[in-house]
Structure 1
Amino acid sequence: MMDQQQAVETAPVLLVVDDLAANLKLMEAILTPRGFEVHTADSGDSALVWLDQRVPDLVLLDIQMPGIDGYETCRRIRAADRTRFLPVVMVTASGNEQKLRAIEAGADDFVQKPFDQAELLARVRSLVRIKRYHDTVERQAAELADWNLQLENKVAAQVDELERVGRLRRFLSPQIARLVMESGDDSFLGSHRAEITTVFCDMRGFTAFAETAEPEEVMAVLRAYHEALGDLVFRYEGTLEHFAGDGLLVFFNDPIPCPDAPERAVRMAVAMRSRVAELAEGWRRRGHDLSFGVGIAQGYATLGRIGFEGRYDYGAIGTVTNLSARLCAYAEPGQILITQRVESGAADVAVTRSLGPLELRGMSRRIEVVEVLGLDAARSVP
């Protein structure tokens, strides 16, 4: 807005072209007192040189000049991109023939010698006003183009941001994804090693159910199951590694440090067991015998982004993930089985009993296994 006001307040710039010094002085004497900034050129060539350096608001151009005449000068003004729309008033010494040739050369208007001062001023002011309107439109078009470019860049950045948030929310709880986005640090996606607590759970009886039930019914059960468990994963701020049918792997202490990882994992597992037990009541009324088992282990793993361009996940690789899966597979319906390390970390909230050393499929040695019976209501925060 300020630029537009300054453009309106600035004195209009005129270039007067004539080979006679007396005519140039006369034009200056008429135009300068009326608020015009007048520049002069004594030939068509010198006018074109001047126009290479600056574009005025209007050119007053005599026709009869040595070298290139006014017609040719006007044609060259029209041929140049920067002066294509520059108003040109040609000063003619005769009648209709010169006027016609002036219009054919590209002149916008003409005055005839000897000219009437009032007519000259009216024609000049009219064309200067049109030139200013044209300049305003061009300036606004340039600003609009710039705004559009900025908007496109902003939209592209927002789309990238949304895609990045979407990728993070595939495996992080919303609050953790938001924290990572606000900090701008996604270096955790690179491969690294960390101690984590892993939770693996699945449904008992699901394979037999899926073989006999209608696909729509299987999908309905899975949808309710995933919604219930997914809500709890996010509530306890776990990192979701993957859903695979009825199988679910979650871990704690990566990428966000979690000092109470074993405790949080146990509390989540107990909440999951209760939620699935509620769902199982409804499934049972429809003739589906489904239950739930959980395994929890603690140990080191290599973590980071895995996959390929366009389809990445955040994964954990290590014995600890296999161990939680084996504990889950060994668990009876409704059981939560954990290792001694997890029991130690969750001792403040978990009520447990030892099952002794057990042989788990795929493990090279016997594992001390502990069952979580529930939470100590006096010490546990729901």
Structure 2
Amino acid sequence: MTTTILVVDDEPDFEALILQRFRRSVRDETFAFLFARDGVEALEVLAANPHVDLVLSDINMPRMDGLTLLERLAALDQRVFTVIVSAYGDMANIRTAMNRGAFDFLTKPLDFSDLERTIEKTMRHTRLFREAEERQRSAEQASAALSRYFSPNIAERLAAAADTLDAGERREITAVFTDITGFTPLVEVVEPAVLAQLLNAYVSGMTACVFDHQGTVAKIVGDALHILFGAPADQGDHAARAIACARDLDTLAQEFCTVWQERGVALGPTRIGVHSGPALVGSFGGGRFFDYTAYGETINIAARLEAANKAFGTRVLVTAATASAAPDFHGRPVGDLQLRGCRGPMRVFELSSRDDGDDYRAAFDRLERGDPDAVAAFAVVFGSHPDDPLASFHLKRLLNGGGGTTIVVG
């Protein structure tokens, strides 16, 4: 690698002297020299050559002297190390130069062996400084990238070792999927400026809620969020965190929906699916595309579950795998769902705070036992709560000849 040195000196023979002394280093491209007659010209050369590694400058020069040049160099964005050359015994100017940021100094008449040693020492320091700068820049870039996905404290923890995210690993997680009902048709009728305001506010509020629960936003696709708990950092209570987060996301989305409906925008409710299990998590996609995400049936189930809300009229569905891992879980059984593309039926619950839970559970118990009185029991629940879509679903299903708790969801 070639070291580029800018020599600033008004002596007419100094340029030829430097080139003669370092001719071998110039020939083998160890050093490359640029020259300026004073500080004004030096700044012009630096502006045209931002790759300069070192400035070797005299103090006494016309138009702009070396001390003024040091002041101007300190104001530049580019950091250039400077070695000052001064007359022997001119300690006052040398002290001023060092106070203004000079890295080292040499005295005239110039000892070229001393100059070579000083250049080597300065360049070692320059390399160390630039390596430290690069590490800092990489950490800042990693932190910025990670902050897209992780809560701030997790992002800070991982930024110093972001390369550990590159390798995929299998781990137990809880996946959460969210999606606004009927958002795509809304895009076609709402003014772009209004839609941008709505979407920005929605995503900002939802991601902030996820971060409050120490979750990881793996993807944002339009209005849809893919959220992980238990990755990349270990969270022994990832299921409980996910359920608490889903509850708060539901509350936030409902409030958001009400506000925008009052403004004349027919925003639909947000549907949420939650499931726990093993998944392959890590950064995928190659060096130029940072995509921290998760793969596996656990992810597919959570996504299918989010969509399954449409069939039941519910907003938040949670599998038994998650519910059983979360202490004090409160929800109503929906049934044993056979989701498209997933192995076998699985017990699923609606995350609900309805006060009719006991009547509903009694009706569901009859359904599970194959009791013919299940129809009457669900009719009672629906009669008391005609706004309960889940009770309505089961009642219609039973009246149409259905039975049992296994439900195929396309």
TM over 0.5: yes
Judge conservation of contact 1:351–1:375 (CA < 8 Å) in 2: no
Judge conservation of contact 1:171–1:313 (CA < 8 Å) in 2: no
Summarize the alignment of residues 79-98 of structure 1 with structure 2, pairs less than 5 Å apart.
81=21
- Look up the match of 2:288: 310
Give the C-alpha shift of residue 364 in structure 1. Answer: 4.5
Q: Distance in 2 between matches of 1:331 and 1:153?
A: 53
Match 1:168 to one of 146, 151, 159: 146
Bigger-Rg structure (1/2): 1
Matched, 1:237 2:218: no
Judge conservation of contact 2:142–2:162 (CA < 8 Å) in 1: no
- Look up the match of 2:239: 262
- Look up the match of 1:94: none
Structure 1 residues 216 and 193, CA gap change in structure 2 (3 angstroms): same
- Look up the match of 1:192: 169
Q: Distance in 1 between matches of 2:198 and 2:256?
A: 9
* Higher alpha-carbon deviation: 218-227 or 351-360: 351-360
Summarize the alignment of residues 101-116 of structure 1 with structure 2, pairs less than 5 Å apart.
none
* Higher alpha-carbon deviation: 227-236 or 140-149: 140-149
The letter for the 2-side match of 1:356 is G
Q: Distance in 2 between matches of 1:175 and 1:297?
A: 25
Give the C-alpha shift of residue 129 in structure 1. Answer: 5.0
What's the TM-score once normalised by structure 2's chain length? 0.56
Structure 1 segments unaligned to the other structure (5+ residues): 1-76, 83-126, 377-382
Judge conservation of contact 1:196–1:251 (CA < 8 Å) in 2: yes
- Look up the match of 2:261: 284
- Look up the match of 1:351: 330
Judge conservation of contact 2:179–2:272 (CA < 8 Å) in 1: yes
Judge conservation of contact 2:140–2:159 (CA < 8 Å) in 1: no
Give the C-alpha shift of residue 79 in structure 1. Answer: 9.8
Judge conservation of contact 2:175–2:302 (CA < 8 Å) in 1: yes
- Look up the match of 1:207: 184
- Look up the match of 2:72: none
- Look up the match of 2:158: 180
Give the C-alpha shift of residue 360 in structure 1. Answer: 2.7
Structure 2 segments unaligned to the other structure (5+ residues): 1-16, 23-86, 91-105, 356-410
Q: Distance in 2 between matches of 1:78 and 1:188?
A: 50
Judge conservation of contact 1:267–1:375 (CA < 8 Å) in 2: no
Q: Distance in 1 between matches of 2:338 and 2:124?
A: 69
Judge conservation of contact 2:178–2:225 (CA < 8 Å) in 1: yes
Judge conservation of contact 1:200–1:294 (CA < 8 Å) in 2: yes
Look up the SS of the partner of 1:249 in the other structure.
strand
The letter for the 2-side match of 1:335 is R
What's the TM-score once normalised by structure 1's chain length? 0.59
> Percentage identity across aligned positions?
28
Q: State the 4+ residue runs in structure 1 displaced beyond 6 angstroms.
A: 77-80, 139-143
Judge conservation of contact 2:281–2:293 (CA < 8 Å) in 1: yes
Matched, 1:324 2:299: no
Q: Distance in 2 between matches of 1:298 and 1:78?
A: 71
Give the C-alpha shift of residue 195 in structure 1. Answer: 1.4
The letter for the 2-side match of 1:282 is V
Match 2:352 to one of 363, 368, 373: 373
- Look up the match of 2:339: 360
Judge conservation of contact 1:297–1:324 (CA < 8 Å) in 2: yes
* Higher alpha-carbon deviation: 187-196 or 235-244: 187-196
Judge conservation of contact 1:197–1:299 (CA < 8 Å) in 2: yes
Judge conservation of contact 2:174–2:238 (CA < 8 Å) in 1: yes
